[in-house]
Structure 1
Amino acid sequence: MREKRSRQRYADDQEGTGVEWKPATRLGFLVQSGQITTIEEALSSKYPVKEYQIIDALLPDLSEEVLDINLVQRMTDSGRRVKFRVCAIVGNRDGYMGIGLGKDALVRNGIVKAVRAAKLGITHITRGCGSWECDCGETHSIPFKIEGKAGSVVITLKPAPKGIGLVTGDVPKRVLEFAGVKDVWGRTEGQTRTTFNQAFATYDALRKTSLMKTVE
């Protein structure tokens, strides 16, 4: 009973507005009413996640971080319009993470939009011990070689033995840490100076771990 009550009184966002969440989707109603109680059930249901409050309710230990903030400009009939483009990452460091992009004239609003977009894009990352040099059987690495792409950036991730660490660039390393991956060999090609593309390429690669079934 207490769990259901806490879901019903969940605040609108982490800024503490105190506004009660009123679900606008079927999945949101199922979560608030307590019929769906885990993130696994939500992601495997036939309903898409369209409300970030669903993730807030099912993953209360979620961490978030801003990866990049860029100033973008666009010419219109009324003159030059300036906005901030924010790339943010969220994750519980235990197999669930997401990346989002937000644009706004104010940095703070851009961060809020990016974090909410990242929550809506959260996905399960399958971890394992796929290196032939290691047979510990723990979920410290990835189960097999994966490749991701975003823009001109292509990243290849390979399973590494326990204790190697994350042998890759700073941006992919942050994404892997939020996913809970501890040991990986990584190689990046393309315009690697673009933080946004590096992050999304890593995310694209990690998503593929859940698309292929592995033998237990």
Structure 2
Amino acid sequence: MAFKGKSRKFKREKPEFDQQIVDLSRVTRVTAGGKQLSFRALLIIGDRKGRVGYGLEKGKDVQIAVNKAYNHAKKNMITIPIVYDTLPHKITAKFKAAKVMVKPAPAGSGIIAGSVIRTVLELGGVPNASARVIGRSNNKITNVKALFIALQSFKKEAINRKPKTKTTSNSQILENKEEIISEKEVQPVVIVEKKVAKKKVVKKVETKK
């Protein structure tokens, strides 16, 4: 009689960061011994909570290139400052021929950006932002590097700024009400008398002759 054992279910551990391959290409290197074929991978990783990084590595196999890029991205992690569910202010950065402009967006608008920039902001956990590539370069590597330069150069003053809207506590509201009531009690009541001008009625008496 065969023994039926219980199947064990192993739970897979969730990865520390979400990752997405942005660019994967073949690279050929010509040497004295001949041509060497390898793969180059551009990988974006992030925790969707403000931290994001990129890695660019080569390998003889696709999996080797991706693993090396993942380890490289973990070393290049940056923190994106998020203020009121968006970026602190507008900024423009340049890397070689690539030029990227990033600016805040109102709540509910989401991420208004193209392919590579959108991926970086989504994995970085930015809820609302607007970005575009101003330069003529369509190279994904240079555009990603320009974007990371922009995200790293936000001003600390804008990050630590206080909200413009004034919030009043319950105690302040009660104090204001008491002041208004006391002012009403102190103010004297002024009675204004209106004088009505009485019209004099003159009766004409007719005399009979």
TM superposition score normalised by structure 1: 0.63
> Residues of 2 paired with 1:143 and 1:110: CA distance?
35
**Aligned residue in 1 for 2:177:** none
- Given the superposition, is the C-alpha separation of residues 100 and 146 from structure 1 closer, same or farther in structure 2, using an over 3 Å criterion? same
Q: 1:187 aligns with which of 132, 136, 146?
A: 132
Cα root mean square deviation, aligned: 2.0
Q: CA deviation at 1:112?
A: 0.4
The structure-2 alpha-carbon separation of the partners of 1:72 and 1:151, relative to structure 1 and needing over 3 Å to count, comes to: farther
2:94 equivalent to 1:149: yes
Task: Provide the rounded CA distance (Å) in 2 between the counterparts of 1:81 and 1:148.
Answer: 35
1:66 aligns with 2:26: no
Displacement of 1:191: 4.2
Alpha carbons of structure 1 residues 83 and 64: separation in structure 2 relative to 1, 3 Å: same
TM-score when scaled to structure 2?
0.65
Q: Secondary structure of the equivalent of 2:156?
A: coil
Amino acid paired to 1:173: R
Ranges in structure 1 where 5+ consecutive residues have no aligned partner: 1-15, 17-59, 129-137
Mark the CA change 1:104 to 1:191 in structure 2 (over 3 Å): closer, same or farther: farther
Report the identity percentage: 30
* Other-structure match for 1:131: none
| Counterpart check, 1:168 vs 2:113 | yes
Q: What is the CA-CA distance between 1:125 and the residue it aligns to?
A: 1.0
- TM superposition shift of 1:123: 1.1
Query: 1:151: how far off?
Result: 3.0
1:81 equivalent among 18, 24, 36: 36
Aligned partners of 1:167, 1:104: CA distance in 2, in Å?
34
How far apart, CA to CA, are the structure 2 residues paired with 1:174 and 1:184?
12
Measure how far apart 1:68 and its partner are. Answer: 0.9
Larger Rg: 2
Say which of 141, 151, 157 aligns to 1:213: 157
1:95 aligns with 2:50: yes
After TM superposition, give the deviation of residue 192 of structure 1 in Å. 4.2
Are residue 196 (structure 1) and residue 151 (structure 2) matched?
Answer: no
Aligned to 1:110: 65
- The CA distance in 2 between the partners of 1:86 and 1:145, in whole Å, is 30
- Cα shift at 1:205: 1.2
